[in-house]
């Protein structure tokens, strides 16, 4: 078991080969919608039922997709590296289903819903939880409406203290499938560089922040990530 401290940050690109569409490829729309119409607090206040139905469709879709070889390669890596922190911008549960059970979700999760009054979250993935009608919480005396447990544009990402602590201490920082447009996630590579870490990128095409990485591998994550991780592990096993 290696003691090298590795931090991995994944984005929508890692789930693309599982059949979940990314946000910024092609037509710039997310599942036929402008991001600001479905993924902002303003959209939720203006038309909560529209936003609710959009996320209920995403939650139902999550049950139909499977982890791909990129998720599986990261689960294998976690078995070989005690000191691995996996951070994802994704709201799906494909890392967990591949075996990375302690994944940090900085932009929230689809499988949980959040009480609008107390802020408590509940896993709500039973058949009756996936319909188009609003759901109410089990935490308040007078049940309140639940909202998607998602970090929308203009809201604070989750777990940032833990994330910065891990990146500031890491030896290797690897980003997989992210366009580098959304901060603070896109700026973590600079934190890793400042910490003297090796910074590696695996992405279909060069993202806006590609220059910040010391090593760039372009291609589909499911096809090239297993090889990149194998190489990383072999390098780590070499004597100093």
Active-site residue, from 105, 107, 159, 217: 107
- Pick between residue 13 and residue 67 the one whose CB is nearest to ligand APR: 13
Site pattern 123..162 for ligand APR (x: CB under 6 A): ----------------------------------------
One of 166, 221, 228, 229 touching ligand APR (CB under 6 A): 221
CB of 22 to ligand APR, least distance (A): 3
Complex with ligand APR: residue 26 or 196, whichever CB lies closer: 26
Q: Is 95 in the site for ligand APR (CB under 6 A)?
A: no
SS (H, E, C) the chain: CECCCEEEEECCHHHHCCCCCCCCCCCCCECCECHHHHCCHHHHHHCHHHHHHHHHHHHHHHCCCCCCHHHHHHHHHHHHECCEEEEECCCCCHHHHHCCCCCEECCEEEEEEEECCCCCEEECCCHHHCCCCCCECCCCCCCCEEEEEECCCCCCCCCHHHHHHHHHCCCEEEEECCCCCCCCHHHHHHHHHHCCCEEEEEECCCCCCHHHCCEEEECCHHHHHHHHHHHHHHHHHCCC
Is residue 107 part of the annotated active site? The answer reads: yes
Positions in the binding site for ligand APR (CB under 6 A): 11-13, 16-17, 22-25, 35, 89, 107, 177-179, 181-182, 203-205, 207, 220-221
Residues with a catalytic annotation lie at: 107
């Amino acid at each position: 078991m290696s003691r090298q401290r590795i931090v991995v940050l994944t984005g929508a690109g890692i789930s693309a080969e599982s059949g979940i569409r990314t946000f910024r490829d092609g037509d710039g729309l997310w599942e036929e919608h402008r991001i600001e119409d479905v993924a902002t607090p303003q959209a939720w206040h203006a038309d909560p039922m529209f936003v609710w139905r959009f996320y209920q469709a995403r939650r139902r879709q999550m049950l139909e997709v499977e982890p791909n070889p990129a998720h599986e390669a990261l689960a294998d890596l976690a078995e070989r590296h005690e000191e691995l922190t996996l951070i994802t911008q994704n709201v799906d549960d494909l890392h967990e289903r591949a075996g990375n059970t302690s994944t940090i979700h900085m932009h929230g999760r689809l499988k949980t819903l959040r009480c609008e009054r107390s802020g408590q979250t509940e896993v709500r993935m039973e058949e009756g939880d996936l319909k188009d009608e609003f759901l109410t919480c089990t935490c308040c005396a007078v049940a309140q409406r639940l909202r998607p447990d998602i970090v929308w544009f203009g809201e604070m990402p989750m777990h940032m203290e833990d994330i910065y602590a891990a990146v500031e201490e890491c030896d290797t920082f690897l980003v997989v499938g992210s366009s580098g447009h959304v901060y603070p996630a896109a700026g973590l590579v600079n934190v890793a560089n400042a910490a003297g870490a090796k910074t590696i990128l695996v992405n279909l095409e060069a993202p806006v922040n590609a220059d910040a990485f010391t090593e760039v591998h372009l291609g589909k994550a499911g096809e090239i990530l297993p090889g990149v991780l194998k190489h990383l592990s072999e390098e780590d096993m070499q004597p100093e």
